[in-house]
Amino acid sequence: DIQLTQSPSFLSASVGDRVTITCRASQGISTYLAWYQQKPGKAPKLLIYAASTLQSGVPSRFSGSGSGTEFTLTISSLQPEDFGTYYCQQLNNFPRTFGQGTKVDIK
C-alpha cells in the first residue's frame, strides 16, 4: 500500500500568512494526488486534484504542486475561513490512501 505522510500534523498561523503543507508518498504516484479541506462535522471538500489543478469554485489563494513522491499545498494568504483539517489523497493505486491530516488553526 502507498503511505502518505503529511507535515506538519498541526499548524497555527495568522490571517494573511503564507501556509505550506507537505505530503510525501512512499512510492511514486506521478501527479495522482488530491487535497481536501474538512471542517468539523462536514464532509471533505475537494480543493486540488491532479496535484495542481484547482477545483472549480475554490479560491485562487489555494495552490498545489509536486509530482512523484513530494507534493505541497500552499495557501498564499490565510483567511479566517481556512481553519480545518487538510488531507492529501493518492489516486494512483488501490487501495486509495489518505494522509493522516494537517490541522490548521487560526491564531
Residue 16 binds another protein (CB under 8 A):
no
Phi, psi dihedral angles at 23 (to 5 degrees) = -130, 120
Residue 32 binds another protein (CB under 8 A):
yes
For residues 76 to 105, the per-residue mask of contacts with another protein, x marking binding by CB under 8 A and - elsewhere, is -----------x-x-x--xxxxxxxx----
Chain centroid offset of residue 23 CA: 7
For residues 36 to 75, the per-residue mask of contacts with another protein, x marking binding by CB under 8 A and - elsewhere, is x-x---xxxxx--xx--x-xx-------------------
Residue type, 91: L
In the numeric block, which cell numbers belong to residue 107? 491564531
